[in-house]
A and B are shown apart, each in its own frame.
Chain A
């Protein structure tokens, strides 16, 4: 079946630094990639939608200058958390959509900002 590889699985960074999270679709081309954030014991909240070669569409309340999304190819999307602060600590999950496979989720990235 379809696999989305997400890295890193865990990252600890200092306040003020930037962190990049990568999601790769391994055996299919992801037309659309979704990025979610999940706080403990809460639901997945959609942050943004990205399509290859075009600018990401951000959900209301999500700062596009803080959460930079790049979808440079049909198999790779990246989320960069810029100038991270402790309140950005969360579980970030990507999900790729493809007509043949539907939604395939990455394994998630646990970000801790200290």
Chain B
């Protein structure tokens, strides 16, 4: 089986930087993904790490350390539109199933 842990909520002001940590336990590992979901909407893909290190995509970056079973999503220059839930997810086998963490609600204040 697999389990993922991430903080339940984070609040920050516009322009700030937020880091959302994710630790995971899986029987196999095929990469750590991050998704954003606004209220009532579908998850949208943000980032994916298969190898150790930092992946940067605009204001969002994601980091992975496979030896620590740990990753994080970094949100920079926060904007009001970044208020959403953020999920880490792992694929742990050949069946391509994605398992999601419980989600972190990010609230951006003016």
Contact B43 A44 (CB under 8 A): yes
| B79-110 CB contacts (< 8 Å) to partner A | 87, 95-103, 105
Closest-CB distance, B97 to chain A (whole angstroms): 6
B19 interface residue, CB < 8 Å from A? no
What's the least CB distance linking B10 to chain A, in Å? 15
Instruction: Bin chain A's interface residue count.
Output: 20 to 34
A54 touches B (CB below 8 Å): no
What class of interface size applies to chain B in its complex with A? 10 to 19
Task: Give, as a whole number of angstroms, the nearest-CB distance from B110 to chain A.
Answer: 23
Residues of A within 8 A of B105 (CB): 41
Question: Which residues of B (44-101) have their CB < 8 Å from a CB of A?
Answer: 44-45, 48, 87, 95-101
Q: Which residues of B contact A95 (CB under 8 A)?
A: 98
Interface window among A12-20, A61-69, A74-82, A99-107: A99-107
Chain B contact residues, CB within 8 Å of chain A: 33, 40-45, 48, 87, 95-103, 105
Nearest first, the 9 A-B pairs at minimum CB distance are: A105-B42, A43-B100, A44-B100, A43-B102, A107-B42, A108-B42, A97-B96, A105-B43, A43-B103
Using a CB–CB cutoff of 8 Å, the interface residues on chain A facing chain B are: 6, 32, 34, 41-44, 46, 49, 57, 91, 93, 95, 97, 102-103, 105-108, 110
